[in-house]
Structure formats: structure tokens, C-alpha cells
């Protein structure tokens, strides 16, 4: 039997994914799931044809230039790939792949959880209950924002944005969106398109951010754009933390310009601006958008499908370079 090709998993992977990886490859694992330095990654990758990383690993030029010549593919366990320097990888002749399509529903579910949790003051309610401060039902206690019949604005109408729209319709919401290009009518399902983000904001009682992280979307939601939202709007971000200017959002939550925010992602995570923790109208989750067994396994299996293709001399199905 021929020797197995060697593959490095920079971070710990789900059990089912690890089982397949170790079955089919000579796997180098990181069972402690600790962050590895560029030097450690380069050393661990010696003799490896593949490296599997995750969205929290920064694979910039510094890391990629240190990789041994044996590495032919970097498979990121994520849809987003802004953490990988595609230009540096292409220069080295390394294929980079991602895991699209399989986390749409899980992430859209979390967007709705953030939307409802923020609108209905779920964190405040649960905290009151757990701390033993609830003294009984009153007419004015924890009054939130109604969802049904409100306008849901979606910034970024890709797969996840459309899945959020589908869920919003289930709650009787009126869907508005903006996108790089208008969707065909059969994908709009009656949603109203706005040519500019600024026009969308004026029609968003709730704003769901679902666009990718790029230079153009960096700090998209800033003070000027927040000012365009209706008073007492609710902001939801399940895309990337870099799309939100924390300074501006925190100020709007403190002033009452915004009723609430539901956030699953943060700029600089896992470090989170500590001022969010003091805001009762901030519903916060630790980047769990894709955190279901089914979704994480599917993401891992896509990584391995890409490894299998490159190992067999075929084009990787999810190649970015």
C-alpha cells in the first residue's frame, strides 16, 4: 500500500472530520486547539501536501512564505477567506479553498435569534430570572420592539441574506435589500430593492448585515449611516465584525438612537470591546453562526473533498486561487 499523503490541521476539527482525515491521510493534528505561530506552522507542515486552517488563523504572506514547498493546498474551514493572502498563495502555486453553501441555514437561524433576542430583550429577561430579581408580571416590564409587520433591511443578499429574508417573511416582516446587483425576480420573492445602502437604511426598522468582509465594506455601519436608520431601529450582524464601527454602534445604543443590537461577530474577536458588556440593549453571542453538528461536519468534509481532489490531480471544487 502506498504511503498516505501528509496533511496538517492547524486547529482541532470535529470528531467525524478528524476520523476521515486520519483514515485517508497521514494527519498531523492539534488536539489542544492552541494557536500556532508562523514558525510552528511551518515546522509542522514539513512534508505536508495540505494545510487545513480556520477563520481565526491569519495566513498572511508571513505565514505562506514560510510554508515548505511540499504544501500544495490550504483549505480554510470557513466561507470567508479574508484571513488568507490569496496573492501570496498563488505566487507560491498553492491552491486555496473555502467551504461555501453549507452554513447558510445555520447562520440565518442565528441572525433571527439575534434579531429576536435583541428586539425582545432576551438577555435582560434571562439575567433577571437567573439572578432571582423577577418579582412577577407587570404591564411595563421588559417591553421590547414588535417584529411582525416591520421592515427588515438586508445588506448583502447572497445565500445567507436570502435565507434571512425567508425567515423574516415567516415573521410577517416586509423585506428590503441592497446588493451589488439586483436579484432576478424569482429570487426576490417580492423583496424591495434599493440602489444604494443609504436608501436601504432609511427603510430598515431592522437591519441585518450579511455582506462579506472587504475593503469596501470595512466599517460600513458608521455614525453617518446609523443616523439614516429610523429611530429605535435594531441592528443585527452575523457577517464579520469589521463591517461595524464599534465606536459608532456603542454610541447609538447608549443614546437611544438604536433600540438594540444583536451581534454574533466582533472586530478583533475573540477580544470584544468591553463597553458592549455594560449595554443591556446589546444581545451578544460568541460567533456561533455555523455551530451545529451538521454544519461543522459538512464544512470539514468540504475541506477534505478539496484535499482529495488535489491529491488525485483534479481541480479543487472550491478553489479560490
Known catalytic residue at 240: yes
Q: Which residues have C-beta within 8 Å of that of residue 313, sequence separation ≥ 6?
A: none
What's 188-217 look like in SS3?
Answer: HCCCEECCCHHHHHHCCCEEEECCCCCCCC
Known catalytic residue at 169: no
Rounded to whole angstroms, how far apart are CA atoms 69 and 154? 43
Known catalytic residue at 19: no
| Helix residue spans in the chain (DSSP H) | 15-24, 38-44, 61-64, 86-91, 104-119, 122-130, 159-170, 185-188, 197-202, 223-226, 246-255, 293-311
Catalytic residue among 82, 219, 269, 275: 269
Catalytic residue among 11, 121, 287, 296: 287
Residue 84 has φ and ψ, to the nearest 5°, of -115, 130
Which residue from 198, 159, 194 is spatially nearest to 175, judged by alpha carbons?
194
β-partners of residue 9 are: 52
Catalytic residue among 11, 20, 151, 240: 240
Catalytic positions: 240, 269, 287
Amino acid at each position: 500500500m502506498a504511503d498516505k499523503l501528509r496533511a496538517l490541521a492547524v486547529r482541532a476539527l470535529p470528531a467525524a472530520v478528524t476520523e476521515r482525515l486520519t483514515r485517508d491521510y497521514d494527519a498531523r493534528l492539534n488536539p489542544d486547539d492552541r494557536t500556532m505561530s508562523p514558525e510552528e506552522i511551518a515546522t509542522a507542515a514539513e512534508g505536508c501536501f495540505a494545510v487545513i486552517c480556520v477563520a481565526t488563523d491569519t495566513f498572511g504572506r508571513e505565514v505562506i512564505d514560510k510554508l515548505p514547498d511540499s504544501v500544495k493546498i490550504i483549505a480554510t474551514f470557513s466561507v470567508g477567506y479574508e484571513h488568507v493572502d490569496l496573492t501570496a498563495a498563488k505566487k507560491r502555486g498553492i491552491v486555496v479553498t473555502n467551504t461555501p453553501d453549507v452554513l447558510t441555514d445555520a447562520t440565518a437561524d442565528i441572525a433571527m435569534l439575534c434579531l429576536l433576542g435583541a428586539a425582545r430583550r432576551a438577555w435582560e429577561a434571562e439575567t433577571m430570572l437567573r439572578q432571582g430579581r423577577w418579582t412577577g408580571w407587570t404591564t411595563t416590564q421588559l417591553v421590547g420592539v414588535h417584529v411582525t409587520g416591520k421592515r427588515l433591511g438586508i445588506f448583502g443578499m447572497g445565500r445567507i441574506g436570502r435565507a434571512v429574508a425567508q425567515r423574516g417573511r415567516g415573521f410577517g416582516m416586509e423585506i428590503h435589500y441592497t446588493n451589488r446587483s439586483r436579484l432576478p425576480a424569482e429570487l426576490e420573492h417580492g423583496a424591495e430593492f434599493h440602489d444604494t445602502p443609504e436608501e436601504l437604511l432609511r427603510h430598515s426598522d431592522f437591519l441585518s448585515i450579511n455582506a462579506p468582509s472587504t475593503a469596501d465594506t470595512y466599517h460600513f455601519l458608521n455614525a453617518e449611516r446609523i443616523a439614516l436608520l429610523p429611530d429605535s431601529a435594531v441592528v443585527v450582524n452575523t457577517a464579520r465584525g469589521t463591517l461595524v464601527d464599534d465606536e459608532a454602534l456603542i454610541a447609538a445604543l447608549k443614546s437611544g438612537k438604536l433600540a438594540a443590537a444583536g451581534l454574533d461577530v466582533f472586530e478583533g474577536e475573540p477580544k470584544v470591546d468591553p463597553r458592549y458588556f455594560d449595554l443591556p440593549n446589546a444581545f451578544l453571542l460568541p460567533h456561533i453562526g455555523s455551530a451545529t453538528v451538521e454544519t461543522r461536519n459538512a464544512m470539514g468534509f468540504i475541506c477534505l473533498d478539496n484535499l482529495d481532489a488535489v491529491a488525485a490531480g483534479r481541480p479543487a471544487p472550491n478553489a479560490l486561487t
